[in-house]
Amino acid sequence: MKDNALNSGSLRWDSISEAINLNDWVYDNLSIAEMAVKKGLCDHCLGRLFGKLGTGMTNDERGRMIRDALSSRGIDTNVPKNCSLCDDVFLILDRFADACAESILSIDTENFLIGSRIDPGTADKEKALWEELGTENAESLKTELNREIGKLALPKINRAVEFKSPQVVACVDVRFADVTLDIAPIFIYGRYNKLSREIPQTIWPCRVCKGKGCPRCKGAGKMYLTSVQEIIGDIALEMSDGSEHFLHGMGREDIDALTLGTGRPFVLEISTPRKRAIDLDELEKRANLSELAKFNSLRFVSRGSVQKIKEMTPTKTYKVKVKADGKVNKERVNEVARTFRNLCIEQRTPARVEHRRADLVRKREILWVEADWIDDDTFNLTLETGSGTYVKEFVSGDDGRSRPNFSEVLGVQCRVETLDVLAINDHEVIR
């Protein structure tokens, strides 16, 4: 009887060893196999119930072999006209493969993956069947559909299959024979210099209308006409044929601050790009036509770079122009500057941002401060601080919310007139 099953014309020679094992399993578990074959299943669904028993054959081959083994025992194993589980979805796999290939070939990718969506009722029915039969070797309908559609689509697409981080996933909804694409974002690392004291780092939605458009923002939906994000993001969006952009910066500067030197590191994220291999030299050149911001060191990076750039806490070097409420002594200013070396200060959330930040007291470090005299009541300070330090409040004291502070030690109230970020001391670790 075992020989009859092995001689089945549906069986490939390279599957002989599995056939023997599966055939033995059928005889050892005759009641389960007989119950399964009486459920009105097609060969795919029957074979899939025991899909984890070895390798070397497809589920429909496995299903036919189980029928052969049972037939040799005189058990009726006729194939039903319509499968009670999958509704004969495997008869139209070619149509799904063609639709997937057409969708994937419409965009620029190096690799792909096939996914599927089935009716929730079918999934519930499948799980109930597994529980009823007590099988521990079943493979899901979705898994087989993904694999079999992928095998048919691969020659038509002629791109690599990627399971871990696919650039695009074509998802087949078998209920409606519809294919949707899930396109992975692209991520571009770079550094920017902000050369205007009138633009923010990122898009700032209007406080009144929350982006909908109102008289306050003149219908723009945002507080400022442009931002560092939009200057480069809009161009990247056009070049990639994407849908939306986001800028993830290594910290941010105030709107009225400049960022100079080698610039602030950032990662630009482009959602659903239909073109991935955009020319970053061209992107940099076009973005640098702006007089408000400049960009350098653009390169493609992985998704993980966003988290890395958010978690980094480099020190920063600033230059501030300080105005005192009255005349100050040059030597006294220099003396006070020298006292702030490797000094820990405590800063309560500044009054100017307490409406959007938790009211906490944070410990921050001032590494060094140097003074440069201008006139009787004005001077420059160059300083390096730990990440997250509120420099303006360190100078002014913020009504005692930042202590110790420069004004308190000097004995004269001071305020920052202009602030420039000279360096983000990150040492280029993002890859």
Residues catalogued as catalytic = 254
Per the listing, tokens 């955009």 go with: 278
- Would you call 386 helix, strand, or coil by DSSP? coil
- Give CA–CA dist 412/416, Å, rounded: 13
Q: Among residues 317, 322, 418, which one has the least CA distance to residue 373?
A: 322
Residue with tokens 């599995």: 18
Would you state the structure tokens that stand for residue 167, as one six-digit string?
């650039």
Percent of the chain that is helix, strand, coil (3-state, to 5): 35, 25, 40
> Pairing mode, if any, of strands 111-117 and 168-173?
parallel
CA pair distance 183, 106, nearest whole angstrom: 12
For 184, residues 6+ apart whose C-beta sits below 8 A from its C-beta are 165, 166, 167, 168, 303
- Note whether 397 and 349 are within 8 A (CB): no
Rounded to an integer, what distance in angstroms lies between the CA atom of residue 98 and that of residue 240?
25
Nearest to 374 by CA among 422, 319, 317, 318: 319
